Structure 1
């Protein structure tokens, strides 16, 4: 197998690309196996039987010393050659996959601690599971749990992305995209590994497209933290294919996440990995705009956010018209609410072509947005989305600071009954706009991350994105009124602590942002 790095031509880069190409080809074989089986028809039995026998030595490897990396590399190369040499119409499909993988390998980022041996073992075991589900082989003891190992293992979830950030020149996934604006958007796939604390692999149905479950991480990391496994840039045609394939059977919805101020690309992916894991039914797409990633550059990030609006509009139009979707939800946090609100406002008069998807839920999490401006905007915006849900908190110190920067004008995510009531006297809230008070749910000093770190809030946001009923019909919420006029909602049971398991898993990795 030969691969060249598009970024530079050193031997080290070529060796890295070759390793990445092996990994990506096996991953593609697993995720597209159902398609290959349909194309092969009667040839499938012979193909799968030969494939199974090729990977048997890896399946029977019970420890780190029973098989070496060179043997696994040869096994992976033999699998690739079998696919490319298989006669019939499917050969062209295998060749196309191989070409795409070779291109993607040159611009793929992997963690510094990534180990090829464990990665290949994980892929071969996943390949065996897929073959078994397709009826190609019988279950055997090689895939059984290790005696005495009660660990739930690690789930690797796939998130799609569209970013306006320029590549940084680094090859680790956490640093792959930097702070500068890119001349054109990049799209692709980022994979995040997290503990399978809900037991999805053992209790749930077949995993969503692109998801994998492993007993060990390729990096060797055994902690409960979240980590990015890989970041892959894809051409637009390949990106569309993956988004379409990533939907659960019968599902034609997706959720777009827009991050806030002082956010890295990696941190946004880690935050949304929890939502991807919880939602499962529909794919998540990150819309990542440039950020200086510094608390001293609030004004600079504001400029980046406003510059990103037109690009967000273009991306949303493409998502609504070119991906065979029925509904697109938007989850925007902090300063990202400006990108989402100003962008969606430009779609109010847009005449979508026949067959286009419609806008679904709009969730604003701790929005750093002028309260008065939102009340003016929501009257029209509420007519083009199904529902607007605003999560806010009186203890959000980041938004207190933002209000001071903006001349004392209140921010939408900084809960204040008097401020919200004052705005609503001029422009009443539309019937499909819910304001939810999450005060006290974030125990940190800043109080700005409750939508990612508190189980109750996370579950409610997931319910909204699944198309749950209005706040008035959700058992987790109770109605409140201020001066018998302004209506809003609070969580039943107050600000209880998050479930311990999830708190450890999430808070150990999701760093607190020091401002909005």
Structure 2
């Protein structure tokens, strides 16, 4: 037993030196870098390797065409003398200050869109086909299946910097009022898009299931920001032959894309003989953000007043029609009230029509605002419904009846044209009838052409508490 133990010890003592020797020469050896303190033994160059080194040095010293231009420069770079500083472009500014570049302010850029002549108004000399689409003299446009038009806009949304048109502006509020133009295509074939409908690609859970087709869908194709001066210059250019503006203020849960699309579709379906303009406030475009939008709409009223004042003082428009939907009525009525107070000395109206569709504003507040601003508009029309589920919910949230809710009787005021549309066949929510119901579209069509309310078809005169209102009878 002792002999076996002695034999194992002897074997181990012989194997360990052999293993250490292999560890320094095998493929798993770790090479020490230059920072290592160990000395690395180098082999002496053989005659063949010395000759290769000599050939390499000769190749490096060989001059190529153009090398002479760099020899003097490289010599100067090795010189110990201090290099001279170049003289700055502006002698009054030191070289050290110029190291800090002046920040460049981004200027609004807008590429002039390529589009056909705007076709939102029926050409003169054509025959109206009742309440149908306008007839165009150019058959090629008919065959094309859509028209392209511009919508001028003012917005207090924050510019995202994303060049894709639908994402041009988001739901965040910007610091200043911005101006610009959006280009929208609208289908012309009634079989592809019925009058009043805002057709868009089928989308489920924000997933678009079909491609955009200008023959079927209302599409925002381009948008661009403009300075205020350029905005007014181009707007006045549009108003030269047709000095009328249709200004649209959207409601709650609307994106910038929806706002300009609806403005273009509404102007086209109304065969509006003028220019379409939209004011887009920073709605977040989400149904669950009602309270958030309600808080923002108050600030939007201040900017809308400025925008309306700019349109009034800076354009050559002779007739201005204002249309507000839902929560947008809060901004419009407050803006008009403040504008009326500012123009206290003015006695003549400055706006042709004010149209409030399903206004989501407290009835008492509206009555007080209307008492002041009615003198700066020739006529104010209010559309209300008892089947508007959105306003019924709004009443529960806010605690007070809304001006567009006629479930307990329609709001009537002296000088206000109140129209109850409860009998009309609307969608499940019954809140967007101003734009997607043919009867309402037809009534607004006659309204903006100056027809008195008692001459517009399907309206029956009613009275409540000694005040008159009108009811739509299908």
TM-score (normalizing by structure 2): 0.63
Note closer, same or farther for the CA distance 1:441–1:273 as it changes in structure 2 (3 Å cut).
farther
Answering whether residue 230 of structure 2 is matched by residue 238 of structure 1, we say: yes
Question: 2:320·2:352 contact (CA, 8 Å) conserved in 1?
Answer: yes
Aligned 1:206-225 pairs, distance under 5 A: 221=213, 223-225=215-217
Answering whether residue 463 of structure 2 is matched by residue 478 of structure 1, we say: no
Shift of 1:326: 2.8
Q: Which residue of 2 aligns with 1:443?
A: 426
Shift of 1:262: 0.9
Answering whether residue 467 of structure 2 is matched by residue 489 of structure 1, we say: no
Identify unmatched segments of 5+ residues in structure 2.
Answer: 1-105, 118-137, 192-210
Answering whether residue 371 of structure 2 is matched by residue 375 of structure 1, we say: no
CA distance in structure 1 between the aligned counterparts of 2:471 and 2:331, rounded to whole angstroms: 27
Secondary structure at the aligned position of 1:348 is classed as helix
Name the structure where helix makes up a greater proportion of residues: 1
Identify unmatched segments of 5+ residues in structure 1.
Answer: 1-101, 111-118, 127-143, 200-218, 495-516
CA distance in structure 2 between the aligned counterparts of 1:357 and 1:245, rounded to whole angstroms: 24
Shift of 1:327: 3.3
Q: Which residue of 1 aligns with 2:221?
A: 229
Answering whether residue 309 of structure 2 is matched by residue 328 of structure 1, we say: no
Note closer, same or farther for the CA distance 1:416–1:164 as it changes in structure 2 (3 Å cut).
same
Answering whether residue 441 of structure 2 is matched by residue 463 of structure 1, we say: no
Answering whether residue 176 of structure 2 is matched by residue 192 of structure 1, we say: no
Q: Which residue of 2 aligns with 1:300?
A: 292
Question: 1:321·1:357 contact (CA, 8 Å) conserved in 2?
Answer: no
Aligned partner (choices 425, 430, 436) of residue 453 of structure 1: 436
Deviation readout 1:433-458 (Å, 9 max, x if unpaired): 11111114353221111111111211
Secondary structure at the aligned position of 1:347 is classed as helix
Aligned partner (choices 403, 406, 411) of residue 415 of structure 1: 406
Shift of 1:328: 2.4
Secondary structure at the aligned position of 2:339 is classed as coil
CA distance in structure 2 between the aligned counterparts of 1:438 and 1:418, rounded to whole angstroms: 12
Question: 1:392·1:437 contact (CA, 8 Å) conserved in 2?
Answer: yes
Shift of 1:470: 3.0
Note closer, same or farther for the CA distance 1:442–1:165 as it changes in structure 2 (3 Å cut).
farther
Q: Which residue of 2 aligns with 1:48?
A: none
TM-score (normalizing by structure 1): 0.59
CA distance in structure 2 between the aligned counterparts of 1:482 and 1:352, rounded to whole angstroms: 32
Aligned partner (choices 408, 414, 430) of residue 414 of structure 2: 430
Q: Which residue of 1 aligns with 2:302?
A: 310
Note closer, same or farther for the CA distance 1:272–1:441 as it changes in structure 2 (3 Å cut).
farther
Deviation readout 1:351-406 (Å, 9 max, x if unpaired): 3899x981221100110011122223322322221111001111100000000011
CA distance in structure 1 between the aligned counterparts of 2:190 and 2:428, rounded to whole angstroms: 29
Note closer, same or farther for the CA distance 1:353–1:480 as it changes in structure 2 (3 Å cut).
closer
Note closer, same or farther for the CA distance 1:224–1:374 as it changes in structure 2 (3 Å cut).
same
Aligned partner (choices 160, 163, 169) of residue 155 of structure 2: 163
Shift of 1:153: 2.1
CA distance in structure 1 between the aligned counterparts of 2:142 and 2:397, rounded to whole angstroms: 51
Shift of 1:419: 5.9
Answering whether residue 273 of structure 2 is matched by residue 281 of structure 1, we say: yes
Shift of 1:299: 1.4
Note closer, same or farther for the CA distance 1:220–1:296 as it changes in structure 2 (3 Å cut).
closer
Shift of 1:184: 1.1
CA RMSD of aligned residues (A): 3.1
Q: Which residue of 2 aligns with 1:59?
A: none
CA distance in structure 2 between the aligned counterparts of 1:145 and 1:402, rounded to whole angstroms: 47
Q: Which residue of 1 aligns with 2:253?
A: 262
Question: 2:263·2:277 contact (CA, 8 Å) conserved in 1?
Answer: no
CA distance in structure 2 between the aligned counterparts of 1:454 and 1:388, rounded to whole angstroms: 20
Question: 2:150·2:182 contact (CA, 8 Å) conserved in 1?
Answer: yes
Deviation readout 1:470-494 (Å, 9 max, x if unpaired): 31232342212246x34211224x1
Deviation readout 1:235-255 (Å, 9 max, x if unpaired): 222211111111262x43312
Aligned partner (choices 244, 250, 253) of residue 253 of structure 1: 244
Shift of 1:157: 1.5
Secondary structure at the aligned position of 1:349 is classed as helix
Question: 2:186·2:214 contact (CA, 8 Å) conserved in 1?
Answer: no
Q: Which residue of 2 aligns with 1:404?
A: 396
Question: 2:187·2:214 contact (CA, 8 Å) conserved in 1?
Answer: no
Secondary structure at the aligned position of 1:418 is classed as coil
- Which range is displaced more, 310-319 or 343-352? 343-352
